[in-house]
Amino acid sequence: MGKISDKNTRTLITIPKELKTELEEIAKNQNRSFNNLIITILKDYINSFCASKRPEKAASNSSDKGSTLEKRPL
């Protein structure tokens, strides 16, 4: 594997093959890499989770203009 920047870390996860196939298809449809899609999903989840912990911010984030993901369960 190639060298990664100092601000990143490499990690290994195990997911069902069907889920990986679906994620690869979404990434292809959005003209992005699989890795970029996973990072986007994780960031969106963290932003959503943090917003739900702060009631005053949750109302202002309800429009969620920044999300680039299809709204479907994984």
pLDDT in tens, 7-30: 999 999 999 999 999 999 999 999
Per DSSP, which regions of 18-74 are E strands? none
Please state whether the predicted TM-score (pTM) of the whole model is above 0.85: no
Smallest Cα–Cα separation from 22: which of 10, 8, 38? 38
Mean pLDDT of the chain: 84
Q: What pLDDT band is residue 54 in, cutting at 50, 70 and 90?
A: confident
Owner of token pair 């100092």: 6
- Would the pLDDT of 69 be above 80? no
Q: Are 68 and 30 in contact (CB under 8 A)?
A: yes
Q: Are 36 and 27 in contact (CB under 8 A)?
A: yes
